Structure 1
Amino acid sequence: MRDQDPSPGAADRRLSTKEAAELLGVKPETVYAYVSRGQLSSRRAPGGRGSTFDAREVEALARRNRRESASGPGGPGGELSVRTRLTLIESDRFYFRGVDAVELATRHSYEEVAEWLWTGRLRPGAAFDAPGPLVAVARRAVKALPGHATPTDRLRVAAIAAATADPLRFDLSEDAVLGAGRTLIPTLVAALPPLGPDRRDTGPLAHRLWTRLSGRDPDEARLQVLDTALALLVDHDLAASTLAVRVAASARAHAYAAVSAGLGVLEGPLHGAASGLAHRLLLEVLDQGDAAPVIADELRAGRRIPGLGHRLYPGDDPRARALFTLLGDIPDAEPALAAARDIVATAARHTPLHANVDLALAVLTVSCGMPASAGETVFAVARTAGWIAHALEEYGERPLRMRPSGLYAGPKPPRPLPGQEAEGAPPHS
């Protein structure tokens, strides 16, 4: 019921939170998010505990939202754009909820950075633990895969299996989604087969993940690099996999399904698998002792040089810069670091591109005796936290808003049914 006369002539109509949410097609929590972003003003209801909103402001915001929806979720020039409060990338730097992401990742653990991205609150000592039954279901599913299954195959199957063991997966409230994120991420790690005798399932997530990436015993410096890599890769705005997650969440798929959508996109060689290509390139350079013939072979074959350049960073990729700094403190990493520098310098003769995070991940995986697929695993586990954050944000928006219209470019209808073309007329191509 409206607080004031709802007629168009009313000069000062006030809407309750519920009414404003219904008019905007969002949850009540999103109405308050609009207030915090300065898109709406609120006033305490007389004699009540709730807030009221200027109907004209709400209607104007609803019209803006409808205009954006009518033209598809695109920005100027048709480029896809989606409002988000999570990650900003500008001037060769990036920020998580307004905080410098590199500073955050180098000072706090992956779990703490994930909590910050999810809630905007820092939880010192945050830890993720998975219930035993969830892990058992995920491990059984992963164990049934053939030996040649990729790490991303295993993670995707583990996510689906974990979903079947969670009866609350269809609850899209913030608390339920965050609870799913805090248990799903360690479940994904626990479902991966260990590469050595140590199958650690407790302690910081980076320690647990290490045993799935390398059979070597780690030291604190290497674990610090891995933990920082996870924290740096938590989110990176609307990457292809993140967009897939938001589309799934827009259709109100549960968090596990949304993460599965992201994992499906991640396997592309231009996304999560790019670090594996950089790993192999680095090994070739180390084997030949010189980047020049390796780069020449890549260019001769018409391939782009993996590990170089990023369209969002005209200069250095800040994630790569941070990881190279930490890797510089590990003596065993020096040969791989030197090879990476050689790749950058050699390729610069052809085109001046800077090292990106894939090359930094390759230095980490090569110097720590990890397989080529390890970088993709790090990427997938890390980004799961970002996908949860984007899914949670999308659940607060109007359902099914991620629905662009197709631009039909096929034959002009109407056409005869196949096999019923006019006699003597050539079939349509």
Structure 2
Amino acid sequence: MTEQSADPVDDHGRIDTREAARRLGVKPETLYAYVSRGLLSSRRAAGGRGSTFDPAEIAQLARRGRPAAAGDGGTETGWGGRVRTSITLIDTDRYYYRGVDATALAETYTYEEVAEWVWTGVLRRGARFSAAPQPLAAARKVAAALPAGSGPMDRIRVAVIAAAGGDPLRFDLSRDTVLGSARTLIPTLVDALPLAGQPQAANGPLAARLWSRLTAAPADTASLRALDAALALLIDHDLAASTLAARVAASARAHPYAVVSAGLGALDGPLHGQASALAHRMLNDVLERGAASVVADHLRAGRRVPGLGHRLYKGEDPRARLLLSLLRQVPAAAGPLAAADDVIAVTARRTPLYANVDLALGVLSLSAGMPPEAGETVFAVARTAGWIAHALEEYGERPLRMRLGGAYDGPRPDQPLP
């Protein structure tokens, strides 16, 4: 068979260049660029004219997202701009962990149990996470050395680095070792925070241990249930900015602690992790001055009203829906819930916007006497499990595939030496 033959499949089931390019949706020259980069293999066709390709290899590349190349528009991404994942699906105002409604999982199981499901697709009932002594000691020492006024997120960021130094197996990227590190890292982040309330058992539920680090208020059953559900709801949400950052680090084969550090770096901003703090402060203002005045101040300053609307949901954020319903069973949450309801009602006169999870986190933190930054802490602890899940997926992909190419728009060469 040659590239000019009518039949694109030869006697050995291999396809010619034109058919391979058609199946990938690229030009023949792009196909050969893939071969030169080691993304595809080819053989000389019978008679020495043209090349043949394995259709299974072509199909695998197509499933993973064909990479762009110099002959396919001039920008080499190595990943086609899309990341295939089996972790979370967001669809029609609902979202799913491995095909199961995430809100149903959070309502039924603990954070640790849902994390195990996200990691493995197996529900491990009664799962508990415990910190390893040496990494925990290092994390506590470093976190305690931070200047006065450092917040819980400052301590979490340095705790990750310190815990990494205490784990000699951190460079082992095998699945079992990475999961072992995750099961000890997440409680390390919690237990490295200074106590604000009554200490909890080191092998107790993670939500109870986190509660005692964020507030001195005693924890009732309904409040702990809400916090535990918040953790489970926030484990993953597809490729948010912090998750993409974590996957880029994993693509470079960074160890799981470095992957989590990358995610924490991207989380640190008012448009992502800090959004719940803005909602917390707004709700506090509403309790003092009323919703109409506070909403007017935001709109007058050209700011979005915190905690409302989500680009992925036309209706109410499903995470907010469950968390707010659980908070309605908490007596101390009555005031912040009323403030949230008032904000929604006032803004609805202008445009229909629904509560998102940041508003629900603001209600939780305000009602529990937590600092405004508590919501971001809950988010970071919860999302660490999701970052690890995405790292495990990325470790199974071709290394360094997430290589974006820059579209240079500076002065053209050769410019004179300055």
Separation (CA, whole Å) in 2 of partners of 1:74 and 1:66: 6
Separation (CA, whole Å) in 2 of partners of 1:414 and 1:332: 68
Other-structure match for 1:48: none
* Residues 139, 191 of structure 1: 8 Å contact kept: yes
Structure 2: state its 5+ residue gaps.
1-8, 15-34, 40-52, 70-75
* Residues 66, 79 of structure 2: 8 Å contact kept: no
Other-structure match for 1:379: 379
Separation (CA, whole Å) in 1 of partners of 2:281 and 2:310: 19
Separation (CA, whole Å) in 1 of partners of 2:354 and 2:259: 33
Q: How does 1:30-179 map to 2 (within 5 A)?
A: 55-62=54-61, 65=64, 67-70=66-69, 72=77, 80-179=81-180
* Residues 73, 82 of structure 1: 8 Å contact kept: no
Superposed displacement of residue 82, structure 1: 0.9
Superposed displacement of residue 134, structure 1: 1.3
Tell me, what secondary structure is at the counterpart of 1:148?
coil
Separation (CA, whole Å) in 1 of partners of 2:127 and 2:198: 27
What do residues 10-37 of structure 1 show as CA deviations (whole Å, max 9, x unaligned)?
Answer: 6158xxxxxxxxx9989xxxxxxxxxxx
Superposed displacement of residue 302, structure 1: 1.4
Other-structure match for 2:311: 311
Separation (CA, whole Å) in 2 of partners of 1:309 and 1:74: 31
Q: Which amino acid is 1:151 matched to? A: P
Q: Which amino acid is 2:55 matched to? A: R
Count of matched residue positions in the alignment of Structure 1 and Structure 2: 370
CA separation of 1:81 and 1:129: change in aligned 2, threshold 3 A: same
Separation (CA, whole Å) in 2 of partners of 1:299 and 1:145: 37
Q: Which amino acid is 1:389 matched to? A: A
Q: Which amino acid is 1:413 matched to? A: P
Other-structure match for 2:342: 342
Separation (CA, whole Å) in 2 of partners of 1:147 and 1:108: 37
* Residues 285, 291 of structure 1: 8 Å contact kept: yes
Structure 1: state its 5+ residue gaps.
1-7, 14-22, 27-53, 419-429
Other-structure match for 1:295: 295
CA separation of 1:90 and 1:74: change in aligned 2, threshold 3 A: farther
Q: How does 1:244-323 map to 2 (within 5 A)?
A: 244-288=245-289, 290-323=290-323
CA separation of 1:283 and 1:63: change in aligned 2, threshold 3 A: closer
Other-structure match for 2:239: 238
Q: Which amino acid is 1:361 matched to? A: L
Separation (CA, whole Å) in 2 of partners of 1:201 and 1:209: 11
Q: Which amino acid is 1:301 matched to? A: A
Separation (CA, whole Å) in 1 of partners of 2:320 and 2:64: 37
**What is the TM-score normalised by the length of structure 1?**
0.83
Separation (CA, whole Å) in 2 of partners of 1:189 and 1:180: 15
Separation (CA, whole Å) in 2 of partners of 1:264 and 1:83: 23
Separation (CA, whole Å) in 2 of partners of 1:90 and 1:126: 29
Bigger Cα displacement from structure 2, 182-191 vs 145-154: 145-154
Separation (CA, whole Å) in 2 of partners of 1:139 and 1:160: 11
* Residues 200, 211 of structure 1: 8 Å contact kept: no
Superposed displacement of residue 74, structure 1: 7.0
Separation (CA, whole Å) in 1 of partners of 2:63 and 2:227: 44
Other-structure match for 2:365: 365
Bigger Cα displacement from structure 2, 184-193 vs 151-160: 151-160
Other-structure match for 1:51: none
Other-structure match for 2:72: none
Other-structure match for 1:407: 407
What is the percentage of aligned positions where both structures have the same residue?
63
Superposed displacement of residue 56, structure 1: 2.9
Superposed displacement of residue 197, structure 1: 4.4
CA separation of 1:194 and 1:252: change in aligned 2, threshold 3 A: same
CA separation of 1:74 and 1:169: change in aligned 2, threshold 3 A: closer
Superposed displacement of residue 92, structure 1: 0.2
* Residues 65, 79 of structure 2: 8 Å contact kept: no
Q: Which amino acid is 2:326 matched to? A: L
Q: Which amino acid is 2:245 matched to? A: A
Tell me, what secondary structure is at the counterpart of 1:68?
coil
Tell me, what secondary structure is at the counterpart of 1:383?
helix
Q: Which amino acid is 1:315 matched to? A: G
Other-structure match for 1:186: 187
Separation (CA, whole Å) in 1 of partners of 2:363 and 2:235: 19
Separation (CA, whole Å) in 1 of partners of 2:167 and 2:79: 35
Separation (CA, whole Å) in 2 of partners of 1:122 and 1:271: 29
Q: Which amino acid is 2:175 matched to? A: E
